[in-house]
Structure 1
């Protein structure tokens, strides 16, 4: 299925509206033609935007990588943490510009969604920095270092049509539908639909159309374009000999028709199916190629075994023929009669560079012609044994090859049923922040950075909450929700978390206190004549201090809403609420390495569940700075025996 220009306009407008204020938190290579962008916002749920050579859409699924993508490393290097500034379509063409900016830099990612498609990364002057594949044709050339040039315009701008644009239709000798498709650059399905909806024969010659018919065609086109780009949809997936998504019902539809909520949702379904099928085909073809290679190796190894067997047998026959010579009174291997008997056994005596050799089936065996025939026979028997022992080595290699073949055949079978798609769970609002549930069941949320620190207070502070802050510069705000009657255990746990997620963790500062205040003590504006940095607030009145003697947190997998999510907080509540948990302390491994190690430990306990949680989520759960794992264990929410893995 190929996108049309009007469909792309709807997608660009829809994604632009939803992605305002988002930045790139991760980029995944799915196939060589498809790249998935994870877009993050401090106050909204994450978005996942797929850009492929087929088009661009927001997706509700995460697809595992199925083949390498040549652009991935460069895109991650240049675009991570940058804000998605804007998306724009180039005229009515099937080309979109994605502009990313931040840290004094600006890049433009170009998606070309026609023909074989292309994805290019350019700087703010449109110089090509990287691209999926180079192009060198008559009207343009694309390669690294050149300035990006658009292809020649394919026709009228369908978004700004005037009735006068159809004047040529009144005089053309072309069939009306043919002229229409060429001039407006619309896919066949839209051309046919326009004439069907207008109830005009598309096979009619253009100059035979009446003025009224041409006006009706014009009005039909305008309405279809308006309905599509405005989202006035009745979107359906049509499955017959091919599968496609239609934003509106176009004429008579044949095949299996499935109603979808929106065109972008249908596109996600169909394009995801296409990506998966293509990826599986790539994976399977790789395995099939390896299987053929291994089958060839086994065949060659079987031939080698038979060859060595035959050679050993022939050498043994030649050795026995020497005893026949002795019985006939022959005493020298150089005797003419001896030569005749050797020839009958497909062997011969030769001399190379002064060295005497018996050649048996291309195997050259060094002998001493002056030795008795019995001694020469002994040399040949030794060589036959040597050849036979080689058979065992080849058989051992063949067995290993057969096991590898069996493994790849099994892999290929499993790839046909392999689930490479996981539903992207819609996160709870509090998962945008640091969060955990206390031992007593109270929800706690905290800021991750200046922006989310501000959002926590401005958007989620209610009159029945309590606010916590560390008695140290570089501390987040934490809120204990609905905590009018919260017991000391919960108060102490939130104070502990506030200290651990502050600068104290990164610098290993033990003995730091946190304090709590009531909502009405928080002032969101600075006193007159003063300035408050982003994420900071003025606190008035009494502060209630709680000392935290230790720096210790736990990361856990917690069951929520029929799913599993990562959380991080004080050890006791995490242990109570989690399937499994890992206790950490400051110093040791960098965040990424620590996250990998925790994921490995969790995989030992709950492999299927852990595999569905991306490594980025593990990194995101950790406090800023280095951490070391003290213990990994099954949590209290999992019935059964506790399994502890202690770490030095």
Structure 2
């Protein structure tokens, strides 16, 4: 018998009531384990203390509260998705837990003074977790979905699947009518048309004493009444929390092991299902009873994967190929979406340019409509006048395709392109709205680009796990567990696989603080301009050395696909951003070992100079009070990462040393950038047993990108 791997609609109906008891709990922290598609929400409840809520949407699909000892250790540096959850939800109250219709979807709504956020967990198909703002728009999601029937993508309204028939709330007449619509047998009808699934379809047949395979046409009134009564009773029990959860086991040997009350830890048994109520279908199986459904789910899902064995006692090989195919399919969808966004944005820009290129014609049409409406001429009469003008060969009238009085718009055909314009504004305003729409679509594209980066990371992670599985030397599980407890000694490995993904911020100087926040800085005046105009948002912090010739440095509060918001940055992140700002400024170039740095909010930075002054390219006016970091030491570490990605990183030593497999600290010194880069390269080659790996990921040119302008030397020298 196969293990249960996904929650059913009946499970979620039972779970909804129990989870409502956690409303009022505050979210403390959120985690993402990308390799398992697992989201972990750590909450604090007034009565219960710490509460761990798990949502898994990979090969296993579940959502439940877990025992503290059953949650995985916190992962390393949190991915962007986890950081977004923390930024939006830290300190927020859980105010609603609800199953969507009778579907395998559960919603968790959190409220905070500044925002409302809803997490939607889709426990069907490929699985997904979407995070919505108070308007129902997707902030981010684990998987981007673009189908004819629905879209789930950052920057778009979340679309639920078409509502499923809910047998728990339908009246008797609706129930009978639904069954009679089917041309299948009873069990298939209950499973598919009434959405109970195979197991509960069989359970209802057994309890009603009706053969599974009886044709729907052969049912009589008493059959319908018994079935409806059973379903109504089940629905009432689930809504009122009157559950009697069971974890069911199958016996692995020839013994019967049925319902004898012995411990479920018997090695000759394995867990195969968990249900909110006892099932007649499992009457012959051994089961353990629980007082609540959450602990039963936690017991089952925590243990079943460890019990999943094939003949001979070997752990089953994960279906890496299926997962790789899934990720590649998602990438194809995301690439197509990006192409569509680009094409759509270009169409909107072309429409705007057509309006300007045919300014007089469009203005003539708009002026005619506006004058007629001022004289109370009806929309139909206006349209008729344009038709008459078109018959006489008037160019402006010929361009009019249609008018929509309810919307106050005119649709024009200009050089074969149809453009709908607001009849009560001018040409410039209409063109400006089209440019804005193009920009809005391009912002969607940026969100899609960020999503595709995450998917490519997931794909590489699956490939890496496949390589590790295939390279396994067959040692027993205990030895493997012991080895996993030890950190990987990357320096001594003879062969290190390379894996990296290009990020949007790599065009600038960048690093991640020891707390996981992104810091970006300009390399030149053009970068400084772009950083302030495009990437400096509310909630961020702006840093600059108190010296001429320094990079604009931005400590980011949120990612590019997230709305801006205030974040309380740890002091360690602020100090590291300040050190970054001073280290890549003229302070280093001048051979100084420290300098002052100031910090301001984004709204204090402007491109508008004071009266009578001039701002050179890359320069900005900063107004208002500043926070100073006096005597900030200049110091940069360059390292090589091997865990999540293989690449060179560089920045303040306190941030880099914790993220790199090995790093080297430099200070102002006598060696030019290219010379010190070669010295660091030779040092890294000596540290790694796999010299080819260093050549691939840390060439002198790649190292030089992270070195400050001016002379440097290794602190070990």
TM-score range, shorter chain: 0.3 to 0.5
| Larger-Rg structure | 1
